Amino acid sequence: MSEKMHPDDIRTLFSTAMSDMYREEVPQYGTLIDLVQDVNAATLAANPDLRRQLEDAGELSRLSVERHGAIRVGTAEEINNMRRIFAVMGMYPVGYYDLSVAGLPVHSTAFRPIEDASLSRNPFRVFCSLIRLDLLEDQELAREAEVILSKRQIVTDRALELLDLAEAEGGLTAALAQGFVTEALETFRWHSDATVSAQTYAALLKAHRLIADVVCFRGPHINHLTPRTLDIDAVQKGMPERGITPKAIVEGPPQRAASILLRQTSFKALEEDVSFDGVSGTHTARFGEIEQRGVALKPAGRALYDDCLAKTRARVSVGPNGERAEEYMAALAEEFAAFPDDLTTLRRENLAYFRFGAKGQNVPAAASIEDLIASGDLIADPQTYEDFLPVSAAGIFQSNLGSDEQSNFGLSSNQEIFEAAIQTKVFDEQALYAKTEAESLKAALDILGQGHLVADVLKVA
Ligand code: OOG
Ligand code: NI
């Protein structure tokens, strides 16, 4: 049996191919990448400490390749095939996002690498949403949508063959992996010819834009690819100068000294020419987004984040045309004053996840983990948040449905149905960060010869 290509390498082949394809399809994406690269270079040049911190934590090398994308699929079979495709690239479903909280008829997961080493090689992720026809008011239309979806096949025959092979043999050789990437890319391509009449499109659009976007086309076109910036406020400001109009507000936490979780902004979806059974029309689906990532939060930190955000949204709600955006950002900054803004406090108060490392080995026995950090023998680097945020995601969806309006709806979570569709349970992101923290701390204490402190690891985690 010949040697298999590492899934991390297949992922890099794929994310590069996807980025090249999207740059060709959506020229604004190229403009955005250039802007982000300029801002990142300027930020690093102005902040030698930040550069050092990112370099020491192994974060710098992944920055320039880092992207996330998003797709929307229509059926259980489709999302299951997505799971199979991404597994070949070392990407697994992490987290369950119920977007019905924001009135959107979808629920989602993120396919991403889960091992530390894989994340640092290439953290490429895909936010994947499954539409929920059960939430449509017009159930007759929902059944029509089901029939339309049942007639399409979003994965090529060759890709399905290669999936069977990869699953049977535990991977693909480099030659087969190349072919697999080419075939997989077909699934995510844009099609300017819809599969339905203009009339059916209009009916589905009226039910929900997202439903029309999924049901009326041959496949789940990639709808954005998002680079990671070190200064999202600079990018937000820089967009208009390059002819791009951003959404009204940056989603997520406000600007802070110690970045937490995820901040995101996007530009509105493009109106694109589409043919409906030979009749020309338009459709808006594809857009651009930028993200800034900070430290992952422990349950207590996440509860505090949710609380600060809820208080902000109760005070100010942004209108469909971006009304009250400035008030919103001001209220956000005020409410987040309650959130400690330095890494040491975030660590000591058990609000955020860290990754530990030893500097040197077998040092004299210390009295506590805190003492080892103070003496510089034990290093604590923040763990980057690798996931998404449902309220922010809803804001990104919303702005690309043509509105900046914020809304808060009731819960209608349906994780069991989602996991049945995907034929596996989604990974719990909290457990992944906690494992990295505990294992890195145990390993570092071992190297430092501090076996007597291992029992304290549980207190930290
Ligand atoms: C996905 C929107 C969510 C994010 O970064 O939170 C998202 C979509 O529009 O399909 O990409
Ligand atoms: Ni996104």
What domains can you pick out in the chain, each with its CATH number?
7-294+388-427 (3.10.180.80), 297-348 (no CATH), 353-384+428-461 (no CATH)
Best residue among 130, 289, 291 to mutate for probing ligand 1, ranked by most atoms within 8 Å of CB: 289
Number of other residues whose CB lies within 10 A of the CB of residue 197: 14
127 lines ligand 1 (CB under 6 A): yes
Among all bound ligands, the one having the nearest atom to the CA of 401 is: 1
Chunk the chain into consecutive blocks of 10 residues (it has 461) and report each block's average pLDDT, rounded to whole numbers: 91 96 91 94 94 87 90 98 98 95 90 95 96 92 97 98 98 98 97 96 94 97 95 94 90 96 89 94 92 97 96 92 93 98 96 96 94 96 95 80 57 82 97 96 96 77 50
pLDDT of residue 390: 87
388 lines ligand 1 (CB under 6 A): yes
- From the alpha carbon of 72, which atom of ligand 1 is closest? 10
pLDDT of residue 459: 62
179, exposed or middle or buried, with CB in 10 Å at 0-12, 13-18, 19+?
A: middle
pLDDT of residue 267: 85
Number of other residues whose CB lies within 10 A of the CB of residue 131: 26
CA-closest residue to ligand 1 atom 9: 397
pTM score over 0.85 = yes
Ligand 1 centroid–CA 394 distance in Å is 7
Best residue among 71, 99, 224, 262 to mutate for probing ligand 1, ranked by most atoms within 8 Å of CB: 224
pLDDT of residue 418: 95
pLDDT of residue 291: 96
pLDDT of residue 141: 95
pLDDT of residue 181: 98
